[in-house]
Chain A
Amino acid sequence: MRSAPSWLAPFQQSWSEVLQTPLASHQGTLQPSLPPVWLELGADNSVRDPAAGVADYQRQYWFRLLNHLQTEFPLTARLMGFWSFNHLGIAYLQKFPPRNYDLQAIQRHFVNYLRDVNQPLVWMQAARIDEARSKVFLAPDYETWHWEDARVSHPALLSLHSAPDWMLIDEDWALMDLCLQLPDLQGEGALPCPEAHAQTQYWLIQRDAQGLIHRCLPQPQAHLYDLLTSHTIHDAVMMLQQECAKQGWTVRPSSVQTWTAQSVAWGLWAKRSL
């Protein structure tokens, strides 16, 4: 294998600098903004303005990434409004430029970034919902666990393996309802913040054959499912009871049994750890 010509790495370094230079806000639009290093690219000026050609690439770079972020974080983008979201997206992508051939990887740090730059809690919760919906939908395939797969003498001793296609989300505003209405809410402007809940609500997001399903769960049920991901059924139930006592929740033993059975019926558990 022959080596790359010596000019190639510095040439591509200059290109990368040009592409990664953020677009400028100009009269309400995002416009290319070429750093001086673009002159080192050696663009030919014999036919058309070379700056315009390089600017086309810079524009494409940013709009492709911003469009992808908007697609992956539709609730967050509409709550913030596309203009503000794009500015935040540019700042995020400057800190975390893409490093993977898979475009899906660009949003990996976005939720943590919102936290790091002290964005409002409602936007962070919206971003967690968007992230969860994407992760759940794009989860790998697995084999669902059923009661008859149990290999222990007493079911309470079972440790269940969480299936990859569900997540629990909590919200303090009616974000999930808004999220599910988004297909009917055209536009790019910021939507009003939805009503705050009297107390935190819990959602189970799960993939099914048609797409995603969203189940609003009582807090103890959500807590039980969370505990079951890392404890035996027996230990999870004991810990739930302790939490019930601490929080003042009234939960009948039959409810715990029903919730556990429901989790199996809903296919929340996989045959083996993934």
Chain B
Amino acid sequence: MTDQRIARDALGLGLRPALYAKVLAERPLVDYFEIISENFMGPAKPPRQNLAQVRAHYPVVMHGVGLNLLGHEPLNEHYLEALCRLADIVDPPFVSDHLCWTGAHGFSHHDLLPTPYTRDLVGYAADRARRVQERLGRPFALENLSSYVRFAGSEMPEWEFYRAVVDEAGVYFMLDINNIYVSSQNHQFNPLEYLQHIPFDRVVQVHLAGHNTRPDGTIIDTHDRAIDANVWDLYRKAWTMGGPFPTLLEWDDDLPPMPGLVAEMQKAREFQS
């Protein structure tokens, strides 16, 4: 297996099923890949085989979408067990998931859902995040959401909630710059103010992605196109504030050919000054 260490200024790509064959055939110049953990937690042979082949040539980090950290029910022990087993195989330098909920009352909604940001939710979330990190036995990081609704019951801005949970849990930040931009436009806050509250020495990785602006001005986090100029601008500011940090491009749908994908990822270098 290849060395799993990732340079502080590494550039990575989200590994999606449509890319497996191209990655293995073309061996693109990518410092590391990020997998969606849930795609590899089952017993199916093809995903595991693909992962092992990619893992033989590139460092791999794990990013989850189903932890349900802010769900009202106890953490799913089967899920945690499968996540830990996968982490033992992949041996990533860190594992991440989202500061959100994904299911309730026995149902799984397969989406990253927001909550009001309240003081009494901080400790609950922090306890659960700390427990996940302990179970994993490796750094665990939380990603900020993009959201389309906010709540009258919120007692603090998102960045304050995010930081409070991460600080109290002793976990790490997986900072999505596109999500900050999307939410800042949808909810009319200053994205720079958000960044100013992030201690970058605890940021394990930054995500970048494309989004779609609808005619009514609402921005939807779609991961299906090139990164918007405003997001690049915010990325440059984040880099000035706290770079270097590993940067990963998420592109899930309507994927361009591999050279275009790599070029979009490498464009990040232009904004690292």
Contacts and interface: CB of A to CB of B under 8 A. Distances in A.
Interface residues of B, number: 53
Contacts of A207: 45-46
A37 to B, nearest CB: 14
B113 A4 contact: no
Interface residues of A, number: 46
A185 interface: no
B37 to A, nearest CB: 10
B48 interface: yes
A15 B149 CA distance: 12
Given A8-B115, A102-B42, A48 B104 contact: no
Nearest to B83: A101
Interface stretch (B124-132, B200-208, B262-270): B124-132
A79 B210 CA distance: 34
B5 interface: no
A41 interface: yes
A140 B116 CA distance: 41
B105 A12 contact: yes
Nearest to B150: A44
B226 interface: no
Nearest to A134: B44
Nearest to B64: A101
A19 B151 contact: no
Contacts of B147: 53
| A-B interface, 9 closest residue pairs, ranked by CB to CB distance from nearest | A53-B149, A12-B104, A101-B66, A140-B43, A138-B44, A53-B148, A9-B72, A141-B45, A5-B120
23 contacts: A5-B120, A7-B118, A8-B70, A11-B115, A11-B116, A42-B151, A42-B153, A48-B218, A50-B149, A56-B218, A57-B113, A65-B110, A97-B107, A98-B103, A98-B108, A100-B108, A101-B38, A101-B66, A101-B76, A102-B42, A138-B42, A207-B45, A207-B46
Interface of A: 1-5, 7-9, 11-13, 15-16, 19-20, 41-44, 47-48, 50, 52-54, 56-57, 60-61, 64-65, 97-104, 137-141, 165, 207
